[in-house]
Amino acid sequence: MFEKVNPNHPDKVADRIAGAVVDLAYSKTKDPKIAVEVLLGHGTCTIISETSVSIKEKEVADVVKRITGCSLKLKYIEVPQDVILSGNQDKEFRCGDNGIFKGTVVTDEQKKLSKLAKDIYRAFPTDGKYIIDSDKVVICQSHAKEEELRKFCPTAIINPLGEWTGGPDVDCGATNRKLGSDMGDSVTGGGLHGKDLSKADVSVNIYAWLEAQKTGKTVQFSCAIGDTEINGVPFSEIVETARAFIDKAGGFENFAMWGLV
């Protein structure tokens, strides 16, 4: 049993905006310290950034316009990351928070639904969400006709409430509200998006997921704020593994589109 949403779901739009702001921070310095929260809906987008590098509001507004495709009233609040907390990582990468992490192997069922979601999104890049439970598939997709959607899965239950508009005027979006869609059966104590690589919520989640795919087994880690290694692995090595993964994805914004699954 698994639920997936596509990149135009309002929660994923919020994740993508948060990721794009993190990308902006990385464009200004190699290892920024940043955490971004986004709430959007009904003509308004509020963004709070705790950051070690300043990002111009115009840059953020351009990101919001590009990703949403519409003009939203932007409220951008930028504050510095805590000086003491940031200073503790000046000389080396240390875990930026306490955390628990479980990486699991992606199942055939999850692969099937993820592929279906991506195939539909390529044809209809509008708000959509999907569920699979054994042979039962539910497709909810705005701005797509049933006969067109049925070509992707003839036996699916399609838009059971009928056609719908979708987007942020139907449902507000917030960062890290679709972690089940992004991580499958993997578990985290924090959010996956809108943070730099020094945050264990990003780097250790990615590392745990990659280890699960590599070993074919569930892996579990925990860390305490300030740790320099996790299960004998230097935290700096975990950060670089996550950096390579994000780079391969094309940045934090692209990573936020579909997550890990």
Domain spans in the chain, listed from the N-terminal domain onward: 2-7+107-172, 10-81, 99-106+174-258
Q: Three-state SS for 28?
A: helix
Q: Tell how far CA 92 is from the center of its chain.
A: 26
- Alpha helix positions (H), 106-249: 108-123, 146-149, 179-183, 200-215, 235-249
Predicted local distance difference test score (pLDDT) of residue 87? 75
CA distance 77 to 141: 33
Determine the angle formed by the axes of helices 235-249 and 200-215, rounding to 10 degrees.
80
CA proximity to 40, closest of 76, 4, 6: 76
Predicted local distance difference test score (pLDDT) of residue 70? 87
CA distance 94 to 153: 47
Q: Is 65:10 a contact under the CB 8 Å cutoff?
A: no
Predicted local distance difference test score (pLDDT) of residue 86? 73
CA distance 107 to 149: 24
Predicted local distance difference test score (pLDDT) of residue 205? 97
Please give the share of the chain, as a percent, with pLDDT higher than 90. 91
CA distance 165 to 20: 26
Using alpha carbons only, what angle is made at residue 24 by residues 61 and 69, rounded to the nearest 5 degrees? Answer: 35
Overall CATH class of domain 10-81: alpha beta
Q: Three-state SS for 7?
A: coil
Encoding tokens for residue 260?
């890990």
CA distance 193 to 173: 13
pLDDT-flagged residues of the chain (< 50): none
Predicted local distance difference test score (pLDDT) of residue 93? 85
Q: Is 135:109 a contact under the CB 8 Å cutoff?
A: no
Predicted local distance difference test score (pLDDT) of residue 89? 75
